Structure formats: C-alpha cells, structure tokens
Amino acid sequence: MKLRELGEDRLLAQLFPDLPRTKSVLIGAGDDCALVKFRTAANFLVLKTDCVVERVHFSSRTSALDVGWKAMMRPLSDFAAMSAVPEFALVTLIVPGTRSTSWVRQLYRGLKRAAARFNVAIVGGETSSTPGPAAIAVTIAGFVEKKRRVLRSGGKAGDDLFVTGRLGGALRQKHLRFIPRIEESRWLTKNFHIHAMIDVSDGLGADLPRLARASKVGFEIERARLPLSPGCKIDNATSDGEDYELLFAISPRESKRLEKSWGKKFPKLQLTRIGKLDQPSPIDYHPLPGGYVHFQ
Amino acid sequence: MKLRELGEDRLLAQLFPDLPRTKSVLIGAGDDCALVKFRTAANFLVLKTDCVVERVHFSSRTSALDVGWKAMMRPLSDFAAMSAVPEFALVTLIVPGTRSTSWVRQLYRGLKRAAARFNVAIVGGETSSTPGPAAIAVTIAGFVEKKRRVLRSGGKAGDDLFVTGRLGGALRQKHLRFIPRIEESRWLTKNFHIHAMIDVSDGLGADLPRLARASKVGFEIERARLPLSPGCKIDNATSDGEDYELLFAISPRESKRLEKSWGKKFPKLQLTRIGKLDQPSPIDYHPLPGGYVHFQ
C-alpha cells in the first residue's frame, strides 16, 4: 500500500505505539509536543520538530523571507497548544546546490525575525544539498511548568469549546504571516484551568476530532457560531487549514469570566465559544467535513 | 552566486555570527552540538539536528532499515564528539506519497533499533509528503555534565592528536552500519582531560582543520601513522568521509596512560596517535587534501 492511500494519521497510529520510550518521557509522539523530564530541572523539557517543503507548504514563487517565517512559526504554534515557552531552535536546511545564496540569506532573515519575536535563540543550523525541492525542518526546545502543561487529552464531557481568531481562507496570505498564540496561551493557563488544547493547523474538521479522540469524548458544534474569516463559508472554516489558532476546552463554570477578561486583555483578537464536548457517540463521530489530510 | 560555488562552511560562516542568542546559550551553531542552560538543571542541555537525503546520503536502492539506522546515528556521533549522553529523539520524515508503507515501516525499524542501542526515546515523529526525494531529519536532546563537555575549541599547541578506529573506505558499507563512539567518548572524559574533540564525518582532511581553526592552532600529521582501512590509501583516509570516528587532542603528559588503558578497555578498537597540534602557520594551513565538502 502506498502512503497516500493510508494517510498520515493512520500511518502514525501504526508506528507510534512501539516507539522506544524511557521513564523520563511523559508525553511522547502523538500530542502537539513531547513533554519529558530533564535531569534535576523542576520544569518539563518540551520538544517539537516540524518542516515545510517546497511545492507542499510553499510555492517556488513564495518569498524566502515568508518561508523562513513560516518554518519557524509552525512548531512555535505547537508550543502555544501546550502552553509552553520556546527557548531554543535548531534549523535543518535541505536545499539544491543551484539555489542562490541570496535566497538562503533571505530565508534565514525570516527564520531569525520569527525567532526573535519570541526571544528564541537559534543554536544549530545544518545544511544539506538535495536534487529535489527545498525543505526546512525546525526543532524547538523549551519548557513548561508542571502545573501549566495542557494536553489534547484532558477534555471532559460538558466542557465549552473555544477558538481564537477567525477560521478559513488562511491560504490567501495568513499562512505565511501568522503569529503563534503563545502569549494568549500563557495567559490562559496562568488565569484559568484549560482542560485540553490544540492548535488548529489542519482545519477544525481534522483537529477538533483529534482533541476529542485524545480526550475520549464526542463534540457538538454550533455551526452558526463558527467565526469565519471574511469571504469564507463554513466549509472553509473546517477544511482550509493553516489557521494556527487555538482550540481549547474549559469548564462552563469558567466561561463567563474567561469571555469577560479576554475582551479586556486581547481586545483585537476574537474569542468564540463554538460548541461543547459531550459523551462520545458511536454513530456521529465525525460531523465535520474533512480538514487537510496529509498524503492525499 | 549559487550555493555550490560558495560551499557549506563559508555559507554557514556568513550566516551564524548574527543568529539570535540568549544568555542561556553557551555554544550555539558551529560546534558539533549546541550546549545550553536549561532552567534549574545542573547539567547542560545538549541539542543537535542532522539529516540524510536520498541520492545525497543514500541511494534509492539502499535498504530502508540501513537508512533509518544512519539517520539516527549521525547526530548521535555528534553527541559522542561532545561527550554528551543522548536521551530523546525527534524524527521528521519527508517522503513521497507514492512510497510504500512497508518502506516507511522498515525505515522506522532502523530508527528504533539505533535509538534503542543507546537507550534513546523517540518522542516525536512528523511526516510530510514531497514531490522530490525522501529526506529524514533527526534531532537529539540530551545532557552533559558541566565538567565533562568537550568542544572543538580547547586544543593547545603541543597537544597530541588521536583518532579512533581506521579511516577511509566507509562508503563501501560502514557508513550505513556504524556505531557512534559514545561509550568511548564517555570513558575518555571520565578518565582523562580531553582538550578538544570532533567526530570525523567529512573526512580527516575537512574535520581536522575545523578542530584546529576552532582551537586557533595549526597541526602536523605523521602521514605514515594514519590508520588506514583495508585497501585504502592516505587520500581515502583524509577525503572519503563518513568514518564517524573520534579525533581528539590531549596533553602529551597523558598520552602514555591513555594508550595503555585504552588497550585494556577497548581491545577491539584501534587508537592511534596521528600527530600534534602546533603553532598556527599562515603558509601551510591546509596540508591535507580536501575531505568531503557539501554543495560541490
């Protein structure tokens, strides 16, 4: 069977259960980031790697500055999903020998600008030539306080579901210019009990089921409430992907206070209650259209 | 100018000086691994990323098991160079959707087997499709005790230079099956003062000048002493690359004791004094032929 017939989620589901683990691993592959114990440190070490590939995540005409920005910000968005603080970045640059050095310099300008935005140090940079398209892999290391880490799996039936910003239409421009919701995420876990969180990168239709599956619950969305980007329909909000917004579950007892203080703290960024987690339903488990599925 | 005209070392030399840094960074890009402070931990956090690319580091006919092994072991060899202990690995797999799932499973078998060899947990696995050749990037996180970290830059004029194993001819088979010298490196720093160390991955002719440059010294090699792999000549030893042996500098006062105890501890692995570090010479800085230079 070919990869594109199986799909990314199912492939990873087959590969991950028997990966080598040690006692230091709290969360391994499968959540937004890995959470591990590091020696005598009181905080968890948080690790995440991600990549962008030419002709998959960006086109050959995309400005190298934007490519660098996106390559750095994607794993930082996963840090936001865990309420983790990024500190160090490693860059692997796979690029044809025929590419101009100015392209690489512009790419690094984008990487550096994005890293500086969150006070992240770039501490490693490998390069390799390739006979194919360019690819950039970025790994982030950082920390989260034990009490503030948020997983995909903590959602409870009855929780309210919130999403930041607006969904859909990101491929027009936002996917190259987005700012991961790290500040918002840190504020959320400082002031509220967030039960479960994920960053919406493959579309609500793919990422909400992931959160629900990890939490072993179902969900119910009020479609009319979905915060749509200008010119977008519900299908765009659930399927376009690349929104890099936060989706999280919180007790309805905290919702009122959350909505009130959010508006004061982040007056320019919308926060919308889009539905609830509920008991898992065997019949109607995927009531949302697709979301972006890799290899298809 | 195109990348292949500039070469990897010069490109990186241009990019690295103004990478964003923070107070936590002891060693950033440019040595074998990054060394950083992590929160309240007494040990340094060590970080390294590396990649292998189809048709550059392996051919389309190479067994996926071997490719996985090599992809994991390359950054582990950099850990050996710093006398660091690897703990966690993250894998980024960039692979065409047309590739068979059994190829990916075999690749993961190789990755897992290599990680298990050094008790490393695989804590993250991203995948992306690509219209080009497959590429696998692996990031390793681990630790080193403050007193035992070894850099490229600690070499002193007068130091003896030692190399483990034999050099040359690795492309015949060894490059897919090598075992990083982590055990040897840990034993070295437990029992001796190692001034500077590097893993020989691009050939002695490329890696020895790197160590000397970082230490701001020159070097002198006794060519007749170079430990050659069977069927190899001196040019192979300096230029073939992919040896993944350790090259290190140590005070001549410790050399005798080192040679004696090495033979007892590692009777099957050769250790050879191949020359000395000396005062830098402006005239004869590169007396060794090339070594593998990327992008050429």
CA distance A171 to chain B (A): 18
* pLDDT, mean over chain B: 92
- Which pLDDT does position B292 carry in this prediction? 53
* pLDDT grade for A296, boundaries at 50, 70 and 90: very low
B287 or A275: whose pLDDT is higher?
A275
B264 to chain A, closest Cα gap in Å = 32
Interface confidence, given as ipTM, is 0.92
Tokens of A133: 């398209």
DSSP state for residue A231 in the 8-state scheme: T
Using the beta-carbon criterion (under 8 Å), do B43 and A39 form an inter-chain contact? yes
**Cβ separation B39–A8 shorter than 8 A:** no
Closest CA to B139 of B102, B179, B93: B93
Of A6, A15, A51, the CB nearest to B94: A51
Q: Is pLDDT at A294 greater than 80 in this prediction?
A: no
Q: pLDDT-derived band of residue A9, with 50, 70 and 90 as boundaries?
A: confident
In this predicted structure, the answer to whether residue B8 has a pLDDT above a threshold of 90 is no
Question: How far is the alpha carbon of B126 from chain A, nearest alpha carbon, in Å?
Answer: 6
* Cα-based distances in Å from B92 to A19, A45, A115: 14, 19, 20
What's the pLDDT at A288? 63
- Distances from the Cα of B100 to the Cαs of A9, A11, A57, B104, in angstroms? 16, 11, 22, 7
pTM exceeding the 0.80 threshold for the entire prediction = yes
pLDDT score of B210 more than 70: yes
Tokens linked to A257:
């206070």
- Going by C-alpha positions, the residue among B124, B148, B147 that lies closest to residue B137 is B124
| Interface subset of B 101-160, CB within 8 angstroms of A | 101, 104-105, 108, 112, 115-116, 119-133, 135, 137, 139, 141, 143
Measured over the CA atoms of residue B215, residue B221, residue B227 and residue B230, the dihedral's sign is positive
* Nearest CA distance, B129 vs chain A (angstrom): 6
For the residues B204-219, what does the mean pLDDT come to? Answer: 95
Q: How far is A3 from chain B (nearest CA, A)?
A: 5
Angle between the N-to-C axes of helices B101-117 and A8-15, in degrees from 0 to 180, rounded to the nearest 10: 40
Q: Structural domains in chain B? A: 3-147 (3.30.1330.10), 150-278 (3.90.650.10)
- For B158-202, what is each residue's pLDDT tens digit? 999 999 999 999 888 788 899 999 999 999 999 999 999 999 999
Average pLDDT over residues B100-112: 95
Taking contacts as CB-CB distances below 8 angstroms, the residues of chain A near B88 are 24-25, 34, 36, 45, 47
**Candidates B55, B135, B295; nearest CB to A135:** B135
DSSP characters over B160-188: EEEEES-BS-GGGTHHHH---SHHHHHHH
Residue B288: the pLDDT is 63
The pLDDT-based confidence of A118 (bands split at 50, 70, 90) is: very high
Q: Do B51 and A128 touch (CB under 8 A)?
A: yes
With beta carbons less than 8 A apart as the criterion, state whether A205 and A223 touch: no
Inter-chain touch B39–A137, beta carbons under 8 Å = no
CA distance B167 to chain A (A): 23
Q: Which amino acid, one-letter code, is at B126?
A: E
Q: How many CB pairs under 8 A join A and B?
A: 297
Strand partners, A37: A44
pLDDT tens digits along A159-207 = 999 999 999 998 887 888 999 999 999 999 999 999 999 999 999 999 9
Average pLDDT over residues A114-122: 97
Question: What average pLDDT does range B22-50 have in this prediction?
Answer: 95
* Range list of β-strands (E), A54-134: 85-94, 121-128
Q: Determine the distance in angstroms separating the CA of B134 from the nearest CA of chain A, rounded to an integer.
A: 9
Q: What sign does the dihedral B104-B105-B109-B112 (CA atoms) show?
A: positive
Interface of B with A in 238-267 (CB under 8 A): none
Interface contact B49-A91, CB threshold 8 A: yes
| pLDDT on residue B296 | 37
Tell me the pLDDT tens digit for each residue of B111-162: 999 999 999 999 998 999 999 999 999 999 999 999 999 999 999 999 999 9
Question: Residue A296's closest chain B neighbor by CA?
Answer: B97
Q: Is the pLDDT of residue B290 over 70?
A: no
pLDDT, average across residues A102-116 = 96
Percentage of chain A beyond pLDDT 90 is 82
In chain B, residues 50-79 whose CB comes closer than 8 Å to chain A: 50-53, 55-57
Question: Nearest residue on chain B to A23, judged by CA atoms?
Answer: B121
Q: Which residues in chain B touch residue A18, judged by CB atoms under 8 angstroms apart? A: 112
pLDDT at A19 over 60: yes
**Chain B environment of A92 (Cβ under 8 Å):** 49-51, 92, 137
- Kindly identify which residue of chain A lies nearest to residue B4, measuring between CA atoms: A97
Residue A292 has a pLDDT of: 54
What is the percent of chain B with per-residue pLDDT over 70, rounded to a whole number?
A: 95
The Cα–Cα gap between B100 and B106 comes to 10
| Interface list for B 167-196 with A (CB within 8 A) | none
In the block, tokens 């995540």 appear at A57
Q: For residue B73, is pLDDT > 60? A: yes
Q: Which residues of A touch B94 (CB under 8 A)?
A: 51, 53, 94, 135, 137
The mean pLDDT of B269-290, rounded to a whole number, is 78
- The predicted pLDDT at position A282 comes to 61
Note whether A95 contacts B3, CB cutoff 8 Å: yes
To the nearest whole Å, the CA of A76 is away from the closest chain B CA by: 14
* Residues pairing with A249 in the sheet: A161, A196
pLDDT of residue B11: 83
Mean pLDDT for the stretch of residues B250-254: 98
Contacts of A105 in chain B (CB under 8 A): 14-15
Per the CB < 8 A criterion, the answer to whether B178 and B118 are in contact is no
Nearest-CA neighbor of A42 among A143, A119, A140?
A: A143
Residue A211 C-alpha from the chain's centroid: 12
Exposure class string for A214-241: b at 16+ Cβ within 10 A, else e: bbebbbebeeeebbebeebebebbbbbb
> Are the CB atoms for A54 and A134 separated by under 8 Å?
yes
- Look at chain B and count its residues: 296
pLDDT reported for residue B16: 85
Compute the average pLDDT of residues A37-56.
Answer: 97
**For A43, nearest residue in chain B (alpha carbons):** B39
Instruction: State whether the Cα torsion B22-B23-B29-B33 is positive or negative.
Output: negative
**pLDDT for position A39:** 97
Return the higher-pLDDT residue of A164 and B286: A164
In chain A, which among 33-52 make CB contacts under 8 A with chain B? 33-34, 36, 38-43, 45, 47-52
Residue B284 has pLDDT above 60, yes or no: no
Strands A85-94, A121-128: parallel, antiparallel or unpaired by DSSP?
parallel
CB contact under 8 A, A21 and B296: no
